[in-house]
Amino acid sequence: METAEVQMVPRHGVIELAFGEPDLGLLPVDLVRRCADRALSSAGPLALAYGASPGAGSVRLTVRDHLASLEQREPDLDEVVVTAGISAGLDLLLTLLLEPDDVVFIEEPTYSLGLRVLRDHRARLQPVPMDHDGMAVDRLADLAHEVRAQGLRPRLVYTVPTFHNPTGLSLSLGRRRRLLEIAAEEELLVVEDDAYRELWFDRPSPPSLWSLDHAGVVVRLGSTSKTIAPGLRTGWLTAPAAVAARYADAGVLDSGGAMSHFSALVAGRFLAAEEYGTHVAGLRREYGRRRDVLVRALTEALPPGCGMVRPGGGFFVRVTLPQGLEASALLAPALTAGVSFVPGARGQVEGGDEALRLGFTYYEPPALAEGASRLGAAIRAALAAS
């Protein structure tokens, strides 16, 4: 097993465009230190006891106010639970909600590691195709009928509707509304992975599915991993009160208390700090600039036949390869050329080898441009050899 401190350690000589992680240099170490100090000073031993199962009351209030500042809809306090980040939230939801004959609908492609969480839970997966407006939601309705005809239960939709991982696309507003109608008709619960809401570059993010939901069919998972720091493992869930209560009533929270009690107090103080708005505005500006640099460099470096859509926010851009070239086969020569990516097949149940995912947040502009150039050269070489 690896013995590094952190998950992502760049290999020597490789520009790791596979990474989906904030730039280490942009992690707000000093402000986190002050927030940790203040949390311990003001809460004292209550910062170190078993946290309340739904999360500390003060953190839930902060999250509620924070979400109200982002969108038109303010959650009730009973609709807010603190989580140990989106992955842990998804994991616990699957434990609590998923029965053996239940089917989970996912976008194709979807977030590759979300797929791994789903597979660990032995979820029956049914992909739904995407186009440039996001998930083809009318196909979802057909697929739900087909699933039911097989004697299985359509249960969950796992979706990243805003600055989708890996495509960077957002679900259109019309489709958002239609998805909610379908979910209500088909008795589906929609798990909305809303990791990138605050990281829009051109115009504010579209409204969350949760904020549009009048039928009580959406569980929205949000996170401080992209805006404050992944290592604090703090996020939130907004859901109908009954779902939120079921989550907070999990045995693992009754036994262990809130999953990130101390860290969540730190993250809560950060969210409520005067500096928060400036900090996130800075991230938007910087990551937006990096998106521009990577997209521009790819436009120059990629040979004809490659495709790409400029994302309006988030962490990623997806590149489709010229006919006949497979991302899985390209990975080794790309690494030799000094650049990595996530092959598209990792985020799909089947297929996906025609595409790859690049992240633009971890590196500064010169490395991004160099990475794009190396990738372009690797693709050209592969085409020449084929």
Residues 62-81 that bind a copy of itself (CB under 8 A): 77-78, 81
Which of 18, 47, 301, 327 is close enough to bind a copy of itself by CB under 8 A? 47
- We find the least distance from the C-beta atom of residue 33 to a copy of itself, in angstroms, to be 5
* Residues composing the chain: 386
- Give the Cα separation of 320 and 232 in Å (integer): 34
The phi, psi pair for 100, rounded to 5°, reads -55, -35
Element (H, E) at 90: helix 86-97
- Give the Cα separation of 385 and 93 in Å (integer): 47
Which of 10, 14, 52, 303 is close enough to bind a copy of itself by CB under 8 A? 52
Which of 65, 69, 116, 336 is close enough to bind a copy of itself by CB under 8 A? 116
Task: For residue 133, count other CB atoms closer than 10 A to its CB.
Answer: 14
Residues 3-42 that bind a copy of itself (CB under 8 A): 3-8, 21-22, 24-25, 27-29, 32-33, 36-37, 40-41
Which of 63, 93, 103, 115 is close enough to bind a copy of itself by CB under 8 A? 115
Residues 127-146 that bind a copy of itself (CB under 8 A): none
- We find the least distance from the C-beta atom of residue 286 to a copy of itself, in angstroms, to be 15
CA end-to-end span of the chain, whole Å? 37
The phi, psi pair for 194, rounded to 5°, reads -110, 40
* Residue (31 or 169) nearer to a copy of itself, CB: 31
- We find the least distance from the C-beta atom of residue 14 to a copy of itself, in angstroms, to be 18
Q: Do 86 and 195 touch, CB atoms closer than 8 A?
A: yes
Which of 66, 67, 82, 87 is close enough to bind a copy of itself by CB under 8 A? 87
Candidate ranges 91-99, 129-137, 320-328, 364-372; the one touching a copy of itself (CB under 8 A): 91-99
Q: Does 125 help bind a copy of itself (rule: CB under 8 A)?
A: no
Classify the C-alpha dihedral 225-228-231-237 as positive or negative: negative
Residues 227-286 that bind a copy of itself (CB under 8 A): 229-233, 241, 244-245, 248, 250-252, 254-263, 266
DSSP 240-294: -HHHHHHHHT-HHHHHH-STTHHHHHHHHHHHHSTTHHHHHHHHHHHHHHHHHHH
Instruction: Build a one-symbol-per-residue string for 170-209: x at contacts with a copy of itself by CB under 8 A, - elsewhere.
Output: ----------------------------------------
3-class SS string, 295-327: HHHHHHHCCCCCEECCCCECCEEEEECCCCCCH
- We find the least distance from the C-beta atom of residue 122 to a copy of itself, in angstroms, to be 8
- We find the least distance from the C-beta atom of residue 250 to a copy of itself, in angstroms, to be 6
Which of 16, 18, 51, 155 is close enough to bind a copy of itself by CB under 8 A? 51
Q: How many residues bind a copy of itself (CB under 8 A)?
A: 88
* Residue (249 or 300) nearer to a copy of itself, CB: 249
* Residue (34 or 178) nearer to a copy of itself, CB: 34
* Residue (37 or 300) nearer to a copy of itself, CB: 37
- We find the least distance from the C-beta atom of residue 129 to a copy of itself, in angstroms, to be 23
Q: Which neighbouring-strand residues pair with 339?
A: 15
* Residue (88 or 378) nearer to a copy of itself, CB: 88
- Give the Cα separation of 62 and 59 in Å (integer): 5
**Nearest alpha-carbon partner for 93 in 74, 117, 75:** 117
Contacts of 230 (CB under 8 A, 6+ apart): 21, 22, 85
Task: For residue 299, count other CB atoms closer than 10 A to its CB.
Answer: 13
- We find the least distance from the C-beta atom of residue 232 to a copy of itself, in angstroms, to be 5
* Residue (153 or 233) nearer to a copy of itself, CB: 233
Query: Tokens representing 134?
Result: 């996001």
